[in-house]
Amino acid sequence: MIYGDKNLGVIVQNITGKQGTFHTELMNAYAREVGGRGVVAGVAPGKAGREVHGVPVYNTVREALREHDATASVIFVPGGAAGDAIMEAAHAGIELAVVITEHIPVHDAMKAIAYAKLHDCTVIGPNCPGLLSPGECKLGIMPAHLATRGNVGVVSRSGTLTYEVVDELTRAGIGQSTVVGIGGDPVIGQTFVDVLARFEEDPQTKAVVVIGEVGGNLEEEGVRSTDLPVVTYIAGVSAPPEKRMGHAGAIIEGGEGDARSKVRRLRDQNIPVASRPSEIPGLIREVL
């Protein structure tokens, strides 16, 4: 596992919102199942003293950390305020911020990620499903029942496509060490390079599935940076240029980042590229 284990203490920012409340319960259900600590406190300005599914709520991250031992935060704060929430977490001493929020302005994301770095806070996301280490911990919104413990890492820019791939792997009897959704925005905290570096340090992980999308060239950068066996899949081979395919980051700009040339560059480096998700388990077996 990477980023954290059973003993990770977690807070949720905007725990009183619809998504925050719902996923706090799911994260804690998973923590109970695997015997982990899970979400120990929540933050919602002006709502101190309340409880959400038995989890106490505080006005600020600093107040929550004064009463509870936690190093990670899962952020559900909406778009315009999410950048501020990341900086608040970093400033208060949170070491790992997982940002689920979508529609964060890019300039807010750039500033918050730079600020977090000054405070040694690692940011995953924004616009991501979070991470799941089967049998250890879940931070975010991934459906845990699809996953099973094993030695293949998964890192992806997508949400549901990641679940699809995890489901394919599990059905094929291939377990996962950690599944990380790094987010679909143009500017994200942890990139493929960062996550692959962690997988490389992780004794449990023997191979990695890299799931990319049209837009940018972070997939190639990541794959070049690691010595681990890697299998890739790039979504958006049929995407037209200049059209945003759902994710703000999934856009081919100025001729850069189209999926076909990504696939070609990966194959040129002798990296196996699946043409469709169902080919991934077979390719993983070949590299394991």
Partner 1 sequence: MKLLEYEAKRVFAEYGIPVPKGVVIRAPAEVAAHLPDLGDGVVLKAQVDVGGRGKAGGVLFADTKTAVETARDLFSREIKGVPVREILAEERLPIEHEYYVSIAVDRSSRQPVVLFADAGGVEIERMAEEDESAVRRVFVSPLLTDIPPFLMRELLGGAPKELAPVINSLYHVFQGKDAMLAEINPLVTTARGVYAADAKLIVDDNALARQGITVNRDLSEREREAEKHGFSYVELDGTIGVIGNGAGLTMSTLDLIEFYNGRAANFLDVGGGADQERVMHAVKLVASMPGVNVIVVNLLGGITRCDEVAKGIIAAGVAPTVIVRMAGTNEEEGRRLLAGCGYRMLESMDAAVKAAMEVAE
Catalytic residues: 247
Return the closest-CA partner of residue 208 out of 153, 168, 161.
Answer: 153
Of 30-38, 91-99, 206-214, 280-288: span binding partner 1 (CB under 8 A): 206-214
Nearer to partner 1, 136 or 164 (CB): 164
Shortest distance, position 282 Cβ to partner 1, whole Å? 13
> Per rule CB under 8 A, is residue 74 in the interface with partner 1?
no
Q: Does 288 bind partner 1 (CB under 8 A)?
A: no
Q: How far is the C-alpha of 146 from the C-alpha of 166, rounded, in Å?
A: 7
Closer of 70 and 252 to partner 1 (Cβ) = 252
> Is 100 one of the annotated binding-site residues?
yes
Starting from the edge strand earliest in sequence, which strands make up the sheet with 72-75, in order? Answer: 51-52, 55-58, 38-43, 9-13, 72-75, 96-99, 122-124
φ/ψ of residue 106, rounded to 5: -60, -40
| Cβ neighbours, 10 Å, residue 226 | 17
Which of 75, 182, 223, 250 lies at the binding interface for partner 1 (CB under 8 A)? 250
CB neighbour burial string for 246-278, b if at least 16 within 10 angstroms, e if fewer: ebbbbbbeeeebbbeebbebbeeeebbbbeebe
Is residue 221 involved in binding partner 1 (CB under 8 A)? yes
Site string for partner 1, 131-160 (x = CB under 8 A): ----------xxx--x---------xxxxx
d(CA 248, CA 257): 13
Q: Which stretch binds partner 1 (CB under 8 A): 33-41, 50-58, 200-208, 241-249?
A: 241-249
Shortest distance in whole angstroms from residue 86 CB to partner 1: 13
283 within 8 A of 172, measured Cβ to Cβ: no
13 is in an annotated binding site: no
On the question of a cis peptide bond just before residue 126, with omega within 30 degrees of 0, the verdict is yes
Contact string 94-133 vs partner 1 (x = CB under 8 A)? ---------xxxxx-xxx-xxx------------------
Instruction: Name the nearest CA neighbour of 126 among 103, 151, 144, 147.
Output: 103
Helix segments in the chain, DSSP class H? 18-34, 61-67, 79-92, 106-118, 160-171, 192-201, 218-225, 259-268, 280-287
User: Which letter does DSSP use for residue 277 in this model?
Assistant: G
Choose the stretch contacting partner 1; rule: CB under 8 A; options: 31-39, 89-97, 197-205, 237-245: 237-245
CB of 135 to partner 1, least distance (A): 19
Among 51, 67, 69, 80, binds partner 1 (CB under 8 A): 80
Exactly one of 37, 138, 198, 247 binds partner 1 (CB under 8 A); that residue is: 247
Q: Is 269 in the site for partner 1 (CB under 8 A)?
A: no
Residue ranges that bind partner 1, judged by CB under 8 A? 22, 79-80, 103-107, 109-111, 113-115, 141-143, 146, 156-164, 167, 184, 186-189, 191, 211, 213-214, 216-218, 221, 233, 235-240, 243-250, 254-255, 259, 275-278
Q: Return binding residues for CoA.
A: 16-19, 47, 100-102
Q: Return binding residues for substrate.
A: 163
